[in-house]
Structure 1
Amino acid sequence: MDSATTQKTVEQRIDDLLVGAIDPHVHSGPSIAARSVDHLELARDASAAGFAAIVTKDHDYSGVMTAALISRHHPELTTKIYSGIALNNVVGGLNPYAVEHTAAMGGKIVWLPTLAAENHFEWEKTSGWVHPASTQKIRPASAIPVLDANKAVRDDVKEILDVIARTDLTLASGHVHASETWIIFEEAKKRGVKRMIFTHPEDIVGASLEDVRGIAAMGAAVEHSLCMFLEGNKFQTCAPEDLRKHIDAAGIDSTILCSDLGQIGNIHPIEGIRRGIKLCMDLGYSDDDIRKMVSLNAARTLGIEASLPASASR
């Protein structure tokens, strides 16, 4: 086979794997920070590529109302659009009312504090990262602790875990430290939470591969932000081989790949998933394994339909 034919075959395989794909962590707009694509534009682009679903994430608001409007007024879109809530300052932090509202409006994910996590502030000190809008448009974030002085889960966090369990939402660890994730996830399981996601252990949260193995063994899905592995985007902090180490630590059946893209001046989220699929091919993963990581595992973890093509393995 000549190189042109080989490349065409690879591109077709990628196209096929995009059909039924799910991006459970994407930063489309509008947002307090500049975004390259808004929720409706992303839903259109994802539909054109054949995605089954996207889950929009904003650090400062629940996107469930926007998702409901898009779903109602654009029935032509084949990609389902969902959202969730990140428990940062703007929504009242550890606010059970906001979580209940998110669930009632069809939300899928509750992220523990991200930009307001105590760990995030520690990470910022050495990362050089600064929220691009906080000093110009809103006051800087203030820390929201999730554990008490004895390193036990706070009562207000327990109340939110109870809401998540009752409404069958998915709990994501956000930007809290990996050591805090262990404690909260163990408490969540005791309280009946069935769906959990360990958010980007490759950066920000101070996780080791042992954390990845152990938290996956606990029953959580481990979600990797492709933007942190892909060359040509401004958030790359890891080498491609690091992704293999993380996938192998958790196991393919416990791994979810998301774009974590949408920021201004960065590659498009759909292109991010496309490049992520190609990266996994280069790392030697089969198409069936990649489909699990870009579709089936997220569908199971979020309780949504994967909508795979008839030819896809199940």
Structure 2
Amino acid sequence: MNSQAPLGMEARIDAILVGAIDPHVHSGPSIAPRAVDHLELAQQVSAAGFAAVITKDHDYSGVMTAGLIARHHPDLPTRVYSGITLNNVVGGLNPYAVEHTAAMGGKVVFMPTLAAENHLRWEKQASWSHPASTQKMRAATPVPVLDSTGAVLDAAKEVLDIVAKNDMALASGHLHVTEAWKIFEEAQKRGVKRLIFTHPEEIVGASLNDVKGIAAMGAFVEHSLCMFLEGSKFKVAGPEEMRQHIAAAGVGQTILCSDLGQPGVFSPLEGFRRGVRMCLELGFSDAEVHDMVSTNTARAFGLEADVDRVKSGGV
């Protein structure tokens, strides 16, 4: 009998996900409906051997919840982290909010999403609105990052300085790609080392040339699996588009996230399983897919120790 028989697909996916990180997941509580909360998420992905998750809410920093989970559930192998998104509720480009998030262990600062000028333009043509904006709170108002001449605002520069000082990651959020270029260039001038280009496949107006160029400047390109998978209400692209995006950035600069947690669609963990399967069926090797769901993400957010801990069997 051949003791080295190839693993079946499900076993391969299981192995690839040991040490995985979901760096962009919409667990709750939130003002918008959520199908899973932060603790439930940690419990579910712990069973799969994930090293970490980074929760994202459009309206608040989840660092306090992350601290509570770490204190009261030290048995969970998956570490929960969070960050802050610079929308209206936190005061937009608010240095106090960013410093507070950094002091509480936040890993990432997202440029405006629902309040980005680009998002508000996109929202009108897409006939989409945030599920809470007309029910529970007023509609978003723009949070610009550039002035009328196209120069980076001083308030944005102050945020970038805090990101650099605390070695946090900077994510482009829902800025238009032309804005993301300028913010990333300014960020690098100010010492930011960790750059994340958020879902070029939707909202931000990016071309494959943009993906290639932004990756070449050292940014990681983050793809939302929910936008590629059959059965997802957020699907806007498919496997061939994923192949093209990965080719443009290179496997080494590509990271995958679920961008899930909403009701009416599969769970973040199931999104990862389906996304891994898609990449394997595209012909990427197990090692390459593991890089895109674990190794690269750990480099992007400084979570290498968490991956090492899980792979060594630690909690």
State TM-score, norm by structure 1: 0.96
Residue in structure 2 matched with residue 186 of structure 1 by the alignment: 185
Residue in structure 2 matched with residue 263 of structure 1 by the alignment: 262
Decide which of 290, 309, 312 is 2:311's aligned counterpart.
309
Residue in structure 1 matched with residue 104 of structure 2 by the alignment: 105
Please tell me whether residue 158 in structure 1 is matched to residue 154 in structure 2.
no
Residue in structure 2 matched with residue 14 of structure 1 by the alignment: 13
Q: Matched residue of 1:54: which SS?
A: strand
Alignment CA distance shift 1:77-1:310 (3 Å): closer
Q: Matched residue of 2:76: which SS?
A: coil
Deviations 1:102-124 (A, max 9, x none): 01000000000000000001111
Residue in structure 1 matched with residue 34 of structure 2 by the alignment: 35
Q: Tell me the amino acid that sits aligned with residue 284 of structure 1.
A: G
Residue in structure 2 matched with residue 137 of structure 1 by the alignment: 136
Structure 1 segment 272-287 matched on structure 2, within 5 A: 272-287=271-286
Corresponding pairs, count: 306
**Distance of 2:276 and 2:40 partners within structure 1:** 22
Residue in structure 2 matched with residue 236 of structure 1 by the alignment: 235
Please tell me whether residue 86 in structure 1 is matched to residue 85 in structure 2.
yes
Structure 1 segment 219-234 matched on structure 2, within 5 A: 219-234=218-233
Q: Matched residue of 1:288: which SS?
A: helix
Q: Matched residue of 2:205: which SS?
A: coil
Q: Matched residue of 2:311: which SS?
A: coil
Q: Tell me the amino acid that sits aligned with residue 164 of structure 2.
A: A
* Structure 2 unaligned blocks of 5 or more: none
**Distance of 1:86 and 1:77 partners within structure 2:** 26
Provide the alpha-carbon RMSD of the alignment. Answer: 1.3
Q: Matched residue of 1:132: which SS?
A: coil
Q: Tell me the amino acid that sits aligned with residue 34 of structure 2.
A: R
C-alpha displacement at 1:129, in angstroms? 1.4
Q: What is the identity percentage for the equivalent residue pairs of Structure 1 and Structure 2?
A: 67
Deviations 1:52-93 (A, max 9, x none): 000000000000000000010001100000000000000010
C-alpha displacement at 1:128, in angstroms? 2.0
* Structure 1 unaligned blocks of 5 or more: none
**Distance of 1:194 and 1:59 partners within structure 2:** 23
**Distance of 2:156 and 2:43 partners within structure 1:** 36
**Distance of 2:223 and 2:100 partners within structure 1:** 27
C-alpha displacement at 1:98, in angstroms? 0.5
Structure 1 segment 3-82 matched on structure 2, within 5 A: 9-82=8-81
Q: Matched residue of 1:160: which SS?
A: helix
Q: Matched residue of 1:16: which SS?
A: helix
C-alpha displacement at 1:310, in angstroms? 5.9
C-alpha displacement at 1:281, in angstroms? 0.4
**Distance of 1:132 and 1:271 partners within structure 2:** 23
Q: Tell me the amino acid that sits aligned with residue 185 of structure 2.
A: E
Structure 1 segment 196-207 matched on structure 2, within 5 A: 196-207=195-206
